[in-house]
Amino acid sequence: MTGGRPPILPGSTLGVLGGGQLGRMFVHAAQQLGFFTAVLDPDADSPAGRVSHLHIRTPYLDADGLARLGREAAAVTTEFENVPAQALAQLAEAVPVAPGAEAVAIAQDRAREKAHFMRCGVPCAPHAVIETEAQLQQVDAALLPGILKTSRLGYDGKGQARVATRAELAAAWDDLQRVPCVLEQLLPLAFECSVVVARGADGAMVNLPVQRNLHRGGILALTEVGEGLLPAAVAAQAIDATRAIADGLRYVGVLCVEFFGLHDGRLVVNEMAPRPHNSGHWSIDAADVSQFELQVRTLAGLPLVQPRQHSHAVMLNLLGDLWFAHGSEQAPPWPEVLALPGTHLHLYGKPQARPGRKMGHLTVTGATPGAARKTARRACELLGLAF
């Protein structure tokens, strides 16, 4: 994918590998701009497949499915980082693909990801790669207590274990089947934040405002965006670091980078996601250009404009646990929630609620941070969520 190719215009078909909620919101954004869409996902009930013009129901590495997507779509993106990089590489032989296979492959491997961060001059937590018994034995005691994470396929708190001693580290690595892992030193966190950038094939780049995040059980619970949430110098540092990471990859598409803010004032990078991110969902309702429209623009080679936040926002993740708050399964009190001013409900069309499953999100907008926070607190009371 080069910066010299002509833009793909509305009326063409854009493809996406993956049929989850991020793909669904990409499809909605593409359709709003006048594009047709094609989704490749093996699940007949996939959220994106349900709303796309075309749903190719094959595994991600199915040669016929990939060939058909390459014929139908003028360009292809992905909606989750664990799509096989090989599938992206195969598609790239036929059509422009963004992000590229190499960038996705780096994001799929924590060890390669951290090496990239360091090459870009962005500090990350002290860590050690553990792939062999010898590396396990050589771990610096200063890294304990720490968090042991699988190098691949870990997300939303999965594939992770807190360890305080060498014995716990060895036991945790056994529990993780001795797959390649990264041990990160446990750091005293003051806050978590993230930055979403969009980078075009010509190197042009724009970003959403810095987002302050709260995780519970390894899953994003709440994101707040507005003036004064973080010191201006910290926000600028996070944006500069994210842009450096994207430039270092020669990235094309939407990229989210998550950071830890430490009590001593330092900011360290945690991880990156080569796609739109849960923490950027607020942009659909509180910015004039959402992260999903930015994904469409980067894929199609259309101009990038700096998004403007027009409302303060609080985004609440809605997990399947809400449907079981009273024992038996029942819908949360949506009428009461939607009676609150500035509430925007997004449900992802998943046929069955399950504890821990991301079923949707609620964005609360307000004219001031206090107004948005007050309404979000009331919504949490109605839903039985902590604020």
Q: What is the pLDDT along the chain (387 residues), one digit of tens a residue?
A: 445 789 999 999 999 999 999 999 999 999 999 999 999 999 999 999 999 999 999 999 999 999 999 999 999 999 988 888 899 999 999 999 999 999 999 999 999 999 999 999 999 999 999 999 999 999 999 999 999 999 987 665 578 899 999 999 999 999 999 999 999 999 999 999 999 999 999 999 999 999 999 999 889 999 999 988 999 999 999 999 999 999 999 999 999 999 999 999 999 999 999 999 999 999 999 999 999 999 999 999 999 999 999 999 999 999 999 999 887 889 999 999 999 999 999 999 998 999 999 999 999 999 999 999 999 999 999 999 999
Tell me the CA distances in angstroms from 315 to 63, 112, 211, 226, one per residue in order.
Answer: 39, 31, 10, 12
Domains of the chain listed by start with CATH number: 13-107 (3.40.50.20), 126-185 (3.30.1490.20), 189-383 (3.30.470.20)
13-17/75-78 β-pairing: parallel
132-139: Cβ within 8 A, 24+ apart: 136/169, 136/170, 136/173, 139/166, 139/169, 139/183
Residue 299 near residue 78 (C-beta atoms within 8 A): no
Respond yes or no on whether the N-terminal peptide bond of residue 274 is cis (omega within 30° of 0): no
Which class for 246: exposed (0-12), middle (13-18), buried (19 or more C-beta within 10 A)? buried
Instruction: Give bridge partners of residue 223 from the DSSP assignment.
Output: 213, 315
